[in-house]
Amino acid sequence: MSGLHPASTGVYANGHDWLANERFDDILLLPEYFQQHGYTTLGGGKIYHANQGNDFNPKGLMSPRGWEDFFPSFEEQLPVPSMPDIKPNRGEGNFNWGGTGKPLEDMGDHKVVNWAIDQLETPQDKPLFLAVGIYRPHMPWFVPDEFYDHYEDVKITPATNPVGWQKNIPESLANRWDRHQDYVGKPGPSRGYAACVTYADFELGRLLRGLAASPLAENTIVVIWSDHGWHLGEKDHFSKFTLWEESTRVPLLILKPGAKKQEVDTAVSLLDVYPTLLALAGLPANAANDGQNLLPIIEAETDLNRAILTSDNEHYHAVRDGRYRYLKSDKAEALFDHFNDPREFHNIADHPGSTAIIKRLSKALPSIPVPSMLQRSKPDEL
C-alpha cells in the first residue's frame, strides 16, 4: 500500500507500527494516489494487518488516509468474525481449524463481498478504486461447515521432509521458527487450510460475478494477490515468517478487459503492484515507488535474471530470480537451484560455479537497510 520496501522504512513485521514510521507522513498510499487523481476510493475488509483470532482486533494497523469510505467502518477494519461456539484446543495462538456451525451469511468475508458488490452496482460519477480484503485463509481456519465437510472424504497427503534435510544448511537459516512440529505428516492442518482456500475462492468468485453483472464490467482492471504464502509442514513448519519459497511465493493475477491471456515466468514482487496499477490506469508514475511497472515485463521475453528482494529484518534477506533462491544473513548464506531442487533442500553455496551466481544475486541486497522499528508494546496475536 505504501509502495516501499521494508529495507526502505524499517517496517519488517506485524509488531512494527507503520503508522508511527518516520516516513509515513511523506508518502502517498495507493488509495491516496488514486484519490488525488480524481477517483472515488472505497475499501473494505482486511487491507492492512488486523486479527480475527483469539483476541479479536477489528481495527489492526489501518490508516484512514485516502479512503472516502470503508466497510465496516474506519474504526473496524474487519466485521465481527463467525467462530464455533466451542473451539478445539490445538495449542499455540490461532493454530486451529474446523466448521463454524454457523450460517454462511455470518462470515465476515461474506459481509465484505456483499458490500463490495453493492458498490459495483451503485452508479458512480467518478472512476472507482475499490479495495476488497478477504480474510481467509488467514488463521484460525474456521469456515462454514459445508466447506470443511467437503474435505471429509478427500485424501490429503501431508508434506514430508527428507531425513536430515538441514544437514548442509546453516542452522541459523534452517531452524528459525519450526512452529507446530507435532503436526508434521498429519493431514488435519492441510484439511483446514484447503477448506479455507476453497471458501476464499467461493467469495472471490462471487465478487467477480458481481463485477461481471455490473455496469463497470467492461472498464475495470482487476488485480488479485495474497500477501504471503504458507508452510503446511514443509521444513517442519506450519506458518509464514520464513524466507523459503513456501512463505514468499504468492498468486498474482492481473485482469484487463480485452487483454490476451498469458503467463509470466519472470520473477516479480508485490511492490510492483502499485506502479503497475498506475500504468494500467494511465496515471503518472510515483517516483517514490520501490517497485517497477510490470507492463514492459509482461510484454518482454522471460528474464530469468530479474532478482527480487524479500527481507525478514535488516540482518536477513532472500533474493529470488527465475532459477535461484539466495539466503543471506550477517553470519550465513545458502543458495538453492530451483531447476534441480524446487523444494530447496540442497544448499549449493559452496559448490564450484556458485560464486558468480551469488555475486550477481547479491546486487539486489540492500546496501544500507533501515534498522527495524521498535516493537509495539502489545503486538497482536500472530
Q: What's the pLDDT tens digit per position in 59-76?
A: 888 999 999 999 999 999
246, part of any domain? yes
351, part of any domain? no
Assign residue 184 the CATH number of its domain. Answer: 3.40.720.10
248, part of any domain? yes
Instruction: Please state at what angle helix 188-212 crosses helix 108-121, rounded to 10 degrees.
Output: 10
227, part of any domain? yes
Residue 96 confidence class, pLDDT cut points 50, 70, 90: very high
120, part of any domain? yes
371, part of any domain? no
CB burial readout 94-133, b (16+ within 10 A) else e: bbbbbbbebebebbbbbbbbbbbbebbeeeeeeebbbbbb
Cross-strand partners of 222: 255
Half-sphere exposure of 28 (CA within 13 A, CB side): 16
129, part of any domain? yes
Residue 54 confidence class, pLDDT cut points 50, 70, 90: low
The whole domain housing 92 covers 38-259
The percentage of the chain sitting over the pLDDT mark of 70, rounded to a whole number, equals: 96
* pTM of the full structure: 0.94
**In total, how many domains does the chain have?**
1
| pLDDT (tens digit per residue) in 156-171 | 999 989 999 999 999 9
Lowest mean pLDDT among 40-44, 72-76, 177-181, 297-301: 177-181
359, part of any domain? no
Place of cell 517497485: 291
| pLDDT (tens digit per residue) in 239-296 | 899 999 999 999 999 999 999 999 999 999 999 999 999 999 999 999 999 999 999 9
